[in-house]
Structure 1
């Protein structure tokens, strides 16, 4: 398989495919067949994410710089958004594509209704993966999935989707590395390798601080939740019943208002900063892997790579703790209508940190694959 050969990565949950009678997997075959009829060229679509073939092909395409012949086709459903693996694939692919100025390579198929993607009224907080998908021209398959696969409407829709893939390949601009904006740049000269990494080094302490703040706020939320549990136990012992529990829930909601607002803002800020800088960092790491960089740039890369690994070490521990906390409030989110919006906001903020970790993990993976010669970038 070469980078000139069209390739699609089919991102979906096996459970969705099972529940829909295998139609999701069959759709990938139908699109590949239609593409070959239209163009005369085969389109290889990788389905099984658990196979070595998927993983090897995925990493090869990412690490050799994506071209306009590589697509990620997410089959978007509620269960897709619950899958951390599927979310990771979208985030990772978008970062690599954006680093090369190739935004049209993500081709989402809206398979089962996701209210946020359809811009319908919904109480749930914003989802950053939904936002990444919504910025692309996603394909609406919500009604088509109910059609007979041999029906004219279904066959025509498959044809149109395959034609769209072919058009993207024909019309997409060449891949061009995206540079990070210079920090306080006043000269007309573009920033050099060292200047760009200096900007990143300046940002790293702020991310460390954000992660620390997250842990502190979540700890305060945990303390308030423990207070509520103690109060409920005492109320039950007094025979307070459900009325007593309601009073505790009302008080807890008031106590959580400020920390929940803070954690929501912090999560949004953390994700936005990392997502914005992601394409540039990928470009830096890719540039460092080239043989023609100067000794000065190589030394700067070693320092920067070490800081990325340190950042990963700090954030990995915190992210794991936040995931455990988010799981622990799942039951509480369902138990009280008064508290449900707040706990959903907490979970959404934690999810932003988890998704941000995907970005940092990908930087670390790429760093591990760069050979800078003498010296240790770890």
Structure 2
């Protein structure tokens, strides 16, 4: 075990904890106590995400010698996945941990059933945060949360979880940060300056193109739904009743088929390209801030940083508009069972863009804190 005191960041929704009688908070205390009993070392668990600097605290630890002793424990529930704040923490932590080769420091607890997480048919989850969690060896607490907290079964489960945390920390490999390749190491395993820049050079135009297409396709969907609203008004004026509304819904579903398919495809491409390169970009920005870049490389890095700032500005405007549209679609989805699957697909695609904005915003935050001089 490392000499540095281990620390866990407990990511959960306070609503879940209140609804479950405070059991989520008490679980963190029990795990910390059990960890200390079996290892002889204290385990500090930070619970309150609303406190100032909660996210900065784990980022600071990951950027320091405490890298291998810092982990995030998301308490996964349906409410957790609906919380944009919780989603952001998982996305950001996963990117930083992957940039250091320490993916196992994300330790999810499946607390209340999320069907997508437990599916065993091999299909890719439709939710990208669920997919990030599913790649880890999550702990199943769905039945255990119903047990008495002082029962032997519950206490044994707490012991096993504390033991697992101890084993993960014990076996965590040294951080493998992204570094610019040295002349003596042209074939280094970690992507270096040239590889990251080449990937970004290819990806940036794709992201701008997807954002532009996404906005125009959502605009088309908006026009079609506006058309349907006018048709329903006309139908009601003719006293066609619910039969008339059903007819309009059927027509709208047909008209939305292609744009919905397009939005789904764009959302998936956007998230996949961002998440794939995220660890390399985080590592590159971190390495740039440490100094040691050649003058020419420093100039290229400045240009790259400016491109990221431009991408962040453009995507932020589009993301804000999409978020409002997604909320309005959510209300409309309740009006027709025929349209509900399509509207859910639209919401899922928009969520991918919103989650992608978390990745880009984290890049920009790091860039703004980086002094290339």
CA–CA distance in 1 between the matches of 2:53 and 2:216?
Answer: 42
CA–CA distance in 1 between the matches of 2:347 and 2:22?
Answer: 32
Q: Over residues 88-124 of structure 1, what are the superposed CA-to-partner deviations in whole Å (9 max), with x where a residue is unaligned?
A: 0000011011111111111100000001111179xx9
Residues 18, 192 of structure 1: CA spacing in aligned structure 2 closer, same or farther, 3 A cutoff? closer
CA–CA distance in 2 between the matches of 1:200 and 1:65?
Answer: 29
CA–CA distance in 1 between the matches of 2:197 and 2:120?
Answer: 41
**Alpha-carbon contact 1:101-1:178 (below 8 Å) kept:** no
CA–CA distance in 1 between the matches of 2:138 and 2:89?
Answer: 16
The answer for the alignment partner of 1:16 in structure 2 is: 16
Cα displacement (A) at 1:240: 0.5
The correspondence of residues 311-322 of structure 1 with structure 2, limited to 5 A, is 311-322=311-322
**Alpha-carbon contact 1:125-1:345 (below 8 Å) kept:** no
Residues 59, 125 of structure 1: CA spacing in aligned structure 2 closer, same or farther, 3 A cutoff? closer
Cα displacement (A) at 1:189: 4.5
The correspondence of residues 264-275 of structure 1 with structure 2, limited to 5 A, is 264-275=264-275
SS of alignment partner, residue 281 of structure 2: helix
**Alpha-carbon contact 1:180-1:196 (below 8 Å) kept:** no
Q: Does 1:359 align with 2:359?
A: yes
Cα displacement (A) at 1:201: 2.6
RMSD of Structure 2 on Structure 1 (CA): 2.2
The answer for the alignment partner of 2:128 in structure 1 is: 128
The correspondence of residues 36-75 of structure 1 with structure 2, limited to 5 A, is 36-64=36-64, 67-75=67-75
The answer for the alignment partner of 1:222 in structure 2 is: 222
Cα displacement (A) at 1:37: 0.6
**Alpha-carbon contact 1:316-1:357 (below 8 Å) kept:** yes
For structure 1, which segment, 90-99 or 295-304, has the greater mean C-alpha deviation from structure 2 after superposition? Answer: 295-304
The answer for the alignment partner of 1:5 in structure 2 is: 5
The correspondence of residues 54-133 of structure 1 with structure 2, limited to 5 A, is 54-64=54-64, 67-119=67-119, 126-133=126-133
CA–CA distance in 2 between the matches of 1:253 and 1:330?
Answer: 15
- Runs of 4+ aligned residues of structure 1 deviating over 6 Å after TM superposition are none
The correspondence of residues 1-378 of structure 1 with structure 2, limited to 5 A, is 4-64=4-64, 67-119=67-119, 126-178=126-178, 189=187, 193-194=193-194, 196-373=196-373
CA–CA distance in 1 between the matches of 2:52 and 2:293?
Answer: 33
Residues 79, 294 of structure 1: CA spacing in aligned structure 2 closer, same or farther, 3 A cutoff? same
Q: Over residues 187-223 of structure 1, what are the superposed CA-to-partner deviations in whole Å (9 max), with x where a residue is unaligned?
A: x755752453243133211111110000000000000
For structure 1, which segment, 111-120 or 255-264, has the greater mean C-alpha deviation from structure 2 after superposition? Answer: 111-120
SS of alignment partner, residue 116 of structure 2: coil
Question: Structure 1 regions of 5+ residues with no counterpart?
Answer: 182-187, 374-378
Residues 116, 150 of structure 1: CA spacing in aligned structure 2 closer, same or farther, 3 A cutoff? same
Cα displacement (A) at 1:351: 0.2
Cα displacement (A) at 1:66: 6.5
The answer for the alignment partner of 1:376 in structure 2 is: none
**Alpha-carbon contact 2:148-2:154 (below 8 Å) kept:** yes
CA–CA distance in 1 between the matches of 2:256 and 2:65?
Answer: 45
SS of alignment partner, residue 74 of structure 1: strand
**Alpha-carbon contact 2:192-2:284 (below 8 Å) kept:** no
Q: Over residues 297-345 of structure 1, what are the superposed CA-to-partner deviations in whole Å (9 max), with x where a residue is unaligned?
A: 2211111111110100000000000000000111111111000000000
CA–CA distance in 2 between the matches of 1:289 and 1:189?
Answer: 23
Q: Over residues 48-87 of structure 1, what are the superposed CA-to-partner deviations in whole Å (9 max), with x where a residue is unaligned?
A: 0111252441331244487221110000000000000000
SS of alignment partner, residue 249 of structure 2: helix
**Alpha-carbon contact 1:193-1:284 (below 8 Å) kept:** yes
Query: Structure 2-normalised TM-score?
Result: 0.94
Cα displacement (A) at 1:174: 1.1
Q: Over residues 126-179 of structure 1, what are the superposed CA-to-partner deviations in whole Å (9 max), with x where a residue is unaligned?
A: 101001111111101011001111100000100100000110111121111257
Count matched residues.
366
Query: Structure 1-normalised TM-score?
Result: 0.92
**Alpha-carbon contact 2:4-2:66 (below 8 Å) kept:** no
The answer for the alignment partner of 1:185 in structure 2 is: none
SS of alignment partner, residue 52 of structure 1: coil
CA–CA distance in 1 between the matches of 2:180 and 2:287?
Answer: 13
